[in-house]
Amino acid sequence: MSGSRTVTAPPSQAVVTYLVETFNARDIDGMLACLHPEVELHPLKLGWRSGVYHGHDAVRRWFAEFTRLGLDYLIELEDVRVQGEGEVIALGSVGVGHGAIAPFGAVHRLAGGLIVAARQYLSDAELLRIRGVIT
């Protein structure tokens, strides 16, 4: 054995990473597998709609409208970290295709291995710290 080891992400970080991967793949069933049935989702305000979506049915409706409009937004993660008990921060950029257009930040609250609340921002880590969203 050469001394190398496999490092795996903690489960809460893996859930958030998987959520983003399934969003980018436009896989609603994969996304819902990460979300508590009564999730509270605050997706990015990307000019076409904003609001809060409660539960799987509402998330499914939001996703259907998003995909129907043909929006090609992708999230590229740069950092996924645990902030506190049951809270995971995701940072990166959002873009069209693979071109970054804006900084991206999201705060996810988890319980029982599922995301119970998620709030997404068009902000970088420093601005989220200044606003008191993350520490």
Q: Residues near 19 by Cβ (< 8 Å), separated by ≥ 6?
A: 31, 34, 35, 108, 115, 118
> Has residue 2 been placed in a domain?
no
The pLDDT of residue 2 is above 80: no
pLDDT at residue 6, rounded to an integer: 54
The residue segments making up the domain with residue 62 are 11-130
The amino acid sitting at 128 is L
How far apart CA 60 and CA 62 sit, in angstroms, is 6
Tell me the whole-structure pTM to 2 decimals: 0.84
pLDDT tens digits for 19-57?
A: 999 999 999 999 999 999 999 999 987 665 668 999 999
> Has residue 3 been placed in a domain?
no
How far apart CA 22 and CA 131 sit, in angstroms, is 29
> Has residue 53 been placed in a domain?
yes
Total domains in the chain come to 1
pLDDT tens digits for 76-107?
A: 999 999 988 899 999 999 887 666 688 899 99
pLDDT at residue 131, rounded to an integer: 64
Q: What is the CATH number of the domain that holds 59?
A: 3.10.450.50
> Has residue 135 been placed in a domain?
no
> Has residue 6 been placed in a domain?
no
In the block, tokens 């998987």 appear at: 18
